[in-house]
Amino acid sequence: MNDLVRSDSDAVDKLEALVDGEDPVAISSLTVFEVGVGLRGDSQRHKPTFDRVTDQIDEVPFDSRAAQRALDIQHDLLDRGEPIGAIDVLIAGTAATRSDATVLTRNVDEFERVDAIDVETY
């Protein structure tokens, strides 16, 4: 999402391909929060693009099922000595509650540690 609001061509091309495809496209409410927090100061110029993208994509809420799944994931990662960041594990927990979800990210290193989700990059 960070790359989309900054008009990164790889991210834009990937989103266009996904939207034109058969699979549904959605964004975690946590991602909306995480990116939105960064839209301050100089970065505020990206807010119109952020608003346009978030208006066009369904939002997946974070709920108690996702919270429990995130706990299970982080416990497993902690046991392996490979924990990931708080927001990332919450996003992974959200994705893990959906059988059809794939996390699209450039932050592959963190998300690939999570066995319960599919990860794709661009």
The total domain count for the chain is 1
- pLDDT for position 39: 94
CA 13 to chain centre: 17
pLDDT confidence of residue 19: 83
3-state SS assignment for residue 28: strand
Domain hosting residue 25, numbered range:
3-121
The CATH number for 19's domain is 3.40.50.1010
Instruction: Specify the pTM.
Output: 0.88
**Residue pair 84/92 in contact by the 8 Å Cβ criterion:** yes
Better-predicted residue by pLDDT, 15 or 44: 44
Tokens of 93: 């927990």
Calculate what percentage of the chain has a pLDDT beyond 90: 75
Residues 6+ apart with CB under 8 A from 117: 92, 95, 96, 101, 102, 103, 111
* DSSP 3-state of 102: strand
User: Any idea which residue has 């091309």 for tokens?
Assistant: 13
pLDDT digit string, tens, across residues 58-103: 999 999 999 999 999 999 999 999 999 999 999 999 999 998 899 9
Rounded to 10 deg, the angle between the 29-37 and 86-96 helix axes is 160
Angle at 94 between CA 24 and CA 67, to 5 degrees: 160
